[in-house]
Amino acid sequence: MSSIPDPILSTESRDLHLSTKDIHFARILVGTDFSEPARHALNLAIAISQIFGSELFIVHAVSPFIYGDGQNAMPVEMITAQLEAAKEEMTNLIASDPRLTGLKVNTTVANAEAVALIEQVAKEQKVDLIVVGSHGASGVERLILGSAAEAVLRRASSPVLIVGPNCRVERHPFRSILFCTDLDVSSLRAAQYASALAEGSDGRLTLLHVVEGGPATPGARSDLAESHLQHQLCSLLPAGADVFCKPKTRIEHGSPSQVITGVAESEAASLIVVGLRNRSPLADHSPWSTLSRVIRDAQCGVLAVRGRLL
């Protein structure tokens, strides 16, 4: 997340950004495979639904296992039994959580590929937020987001909230929000979400930009450069955001993933917000990518917002 030359915002982009509306998660989709990470994702989705009075869509895809050598069709009886077992597990999941009785809950269990089913339901129901869990690391510092979580990040137009393996779900997910940006124009929409969620929940908002590499040499030139970066950070926020959520700005130097998780811990962040350009956030498929590491190491959820403006 290195700095980029000024100007970061065109007049057209800034005017459009300042006129955008408040954020409201009226319809939330959460994908589940009934695993522990999926349970954490559901817990966070419930907490957010309780704040907004959201309608909750819980989706589970039943992927038929390979039968024989893959050339023979799976018997209909096996497919039916597998689907019925999944529906029963979904029923038990809903019945086991009393918090769901106070929410409007819809469930979908179908024979389908997981990401395709999430996409289908998200599109049909016009959801405002998708919540999915990610699995932990495998090997030395190697993150496996899981094919479903990664594909949802790549393909969804809705904001996606990833609940990582170290996420500690709490009742007030917007209590302290850390907005991380490389100061690209694609961060505008993410900044809108971060500031609106902080304002609506009386939460704290911290704006962070990481300059890759070691600390700058002290001096007037360095101070001027930092002041300029802080100005750029604040310019991403909608008009009046500084009045309602009193954001703190931080310019840090070092490895982006390490700095972000470190700052998140020091600010007791309950949510990290990042902007995505309109391409795959993991286009290089590198397990070392900043986003992957942050999701793996963060003790809170990571909300990824695609760059288009509302």
- The answer to whether residues 100 and 177 belong to one domain is no
Q: Where are the alpha helices (DSSP H) in 23-181?
A: 36-52, 76-95, 114-125, 147-155
- The answer to whether residues 308 and 232 belong to one domain is yes
Q: Burial of 16 by CB count in 10 Å (0-12 exposed, 13-18 middle, 19+ buried)?
A: middle
| Residues of the chain predicted below pLDDT 70 | 1-22, 64-74, 136-147, 215-221, 240-245, 278-288, 308-310
Does 151 reside within a domain? no
Contacts of 195 (CB under 8 A, 6+ apart): 179, 205, 237, 238, 241, 244, 245, 247
Q: From CA 135, how far away is CA 146, in angstroms rounded?
A: 6
pLDDT for the residue numbered 284: 45
pLDDT for the residue numbered 147: 59
The reported pTM is: 0.84
Q: Which H or E element spans position 248? A: strand 248-253
The domain in which residue 219 lies consists of 1-23+167-310
Total domains in the fold of the chain: 2
- The answer to whether residues 249 and 292 belong to one domain is yes
- The answer to whether residues 194 and 305 belong to one domain is yes
- The answer to whether residues 107 and 203 belong to one domain is no
Which CATH number fits the domain that encloses residue 282? 3.40.50.620
Does 133 reside within a domain? no
The b/e string for 173-200 (b: 16+ C-beta within 10 A; e otherwise) is: bbbbbbbbbbbebbbbbbbbbbbbbbbb
pLDDT for the residue numbered 204: 93
pLDDT for the residue numbered 32: 94
- The answer to whether residues 187 and 302 belong to one domain is yes
pLDDT for the residue numbered 310: 44
Last residue of a domain, one of 71, 95, 127: 127
Q: From CA 288, how far away is CA 294, in angstroms rounded?
A: 10
Amino acid at 265: E
- The answer to whether residues 193 and 175 belong to one domain is yes
Query: Which candidate, 57, 185, 43, places its Cα nearest to that of 129?
Result: 57
Q: What is the tens place of the pLDDT at every residue in 34-48?
A: 999 899 999 999 999
Last residue of a domain, one of 75, 95, 127: 127
Does 187 reside within a domain? yes
Does 114 reside within a domain? yes
List, in sequence order, every residue forming a beta bridge with 177; answer none if it has no partner: 205, 271
